[in-house]
Amino acid sequence: MIRHIKTAQAPVAGETDDGITKSVQALLSEVEAGGDKAVRDLSLRFDKFDRVSYRLSKAEIDSCINALTRREREDLDFAQDQIRTFAKAQKDALKDLEIETLPGVVLGHRNIPIQNVGCYVPGGKYPLLASAHMTVLTARVAGCGRIVTCAPPFQGGISAKIVAAQALAGADEIYCLGGVQAIAAMAYGTETIDPVDMLAGPGNAYVAEAKRLLFGKVGIDLFAGPTETLIIADDSVDGELVATDLLGQAEHGINSPAVLITNSEKLARDTLAEIDRLLKILPTAAIAAKAWADFGEVILCDTLEEMVAQADFVASEHVQVMTRDPDHFLDNMRNYGALFLGARTNVAFGDKVIGTNHTLPTNKAARYTGGLWVGKFLKTCTYQRIQTDAASALIGAYGSRLCLMEGFAGHAEQANIRVRRYGGRNVPYAAAVEPADI
């Protein structure tokens, strides 16, 4: 039996807000029509930030890198090494393919990097430099030809640590631009910014809606919503650990769901008590407490099967498993953005340093997609060739009949002309090639 010890007081965001959509549509139209001038006007309006050019010079970028302390540089290098290593391993798992399916018939595919990629790194509330690793660096490992990246100003100026992370990750162009104006500038292009083919990276509700509206004109990585975390735990761990990990993700924003699924009522009660205690000392308690009050849940299950079913139903962005046998959930769960197996790891490791990508599906999108990874920056494109006359005539005969089954005479003639030329058969115009004619 499944019981809710604590339920969410507010519905999890899922539907698009009409007000946000209208505002974003208007802003996108401004940039599409007004180019650089509109970008500057919007940067002044929303960020109170003005420059002759929002693209950072090499000297500015070098200054940001040089401003890092030795410890900061070593920490950034360590994080980027982990992410690069895993992304390279993922890319190595993607193989080009060529096979001969019939004598003389060769089919294949190539994994082709997207040429122009725009990466958004959020930084208005917190300077989320980790997003530079996850987007820019992953695109660089994929082999993308040109990587443009934008991040908003932080506290009225260039966010030096974000810029350093963007540059060290391999960005070709770095802009101090935020919000919808940054997304629009990369997608539409301006007088000074060439457009991109794909947008990647998280952002606030306005950035996410801009990406959604632009999907089709450009590719995007994911439809992103507020950060979500789900912890699956049994009595092998304690309430303090669970509460710490729930609040660690709830501090992302006041609309961030944090959910515990457990088969231990004692752990559930202890976790609730520990959350109350920790909220008295957590520096970001104002945000985390609101998120927990409105979107926090504690779900009590009797069996492992119920825990798996509930977890798949939640389909959370982050799923942290702290049980005696975490591999049971690795083997049986189907809907999650990323799994964090065992008490020794946690979502913050994935957010910042361990090597897997932190741009992950939200709003139950884990039912049908995984997160950002090197493969998102690659197009798997197929090709075919026929090497013999006999193979062309054979495929042509089948193709002729199949096309005419659908009523496509022009399609059939593409097959028929090859049966005539390479098979030496006299096929009437727009007629099916009969088996005896092969």
Range name among 13-22, 119-128, 423-432 with the lowest pLDDT average: 13-22
Is 227 known as a binding-site position? yes
Is 384 known as a binding-site position? no
pLDDT number for residue 15? 61
pTM for the structure as a whole: 0.93
Is 363 known as a binding-site position? no
The pLDDT of residue 438 is above 60: no
At 222, the pLDDT band (50, 70, 90 cuts) reads: very high
Q: Cα dist. 293→8, 9, 205, 399 in Å?
A: 7, 7, 21, 62
Query: Strand 296-300 relative to strand 3-6: parallel, antiparallel, unpaired?
Result: antiparallel
Burial tier of 354 (Cβ tally within 10 Å: 0-12, 13-18, 19+):
middle
Mean per-residue pLDDT of the chain? 96
Query: How far, in Å, CA of 386 to CA of 104, rounded?
Result: 6
The distance from CA 294 to its chain's CA centroid, rounded to whole angstroms, is: 26
Kind and range of the H or E run holding 350? helix 347-352
Task: Render pLDDT for 280-301 as a digit per residue (tens, 0 to 9).
Answer: 999 999 999 999 999 999 999 9
Query: How far, in Å, CA of 76 to CA of 129, rounded?
Result: 9
**Catalytic residue positions, numbered:** 317-318
Task: Render pLDDT for 105-148 as a digit per residue (tens, 0 to 9).
Answer: 999 999 999 999 999 999 877 788 999 999 999 999 999 999 99
Task: Render pLDDT for 172-193 as a digit per residue (tens, 0 to 9).
Answer: 999 999 999 999 999 999 999 9
The pLDDT of residue 412 is above 50: yes
Is 109 known as a binding-site position? no
What value does the mean pLDDT take over residues 226-253? 97
Query: How far, in Å, CA of 253 to CA of 288, rounded?
Result: 7
What value does the mean pLDDT take over residues 394-404? 97
Q: Which domains does the chain have, with CATH numbers?
A: 18-95+113-221 (3.40.50.1980), 226-371 (3.40.50.1980)
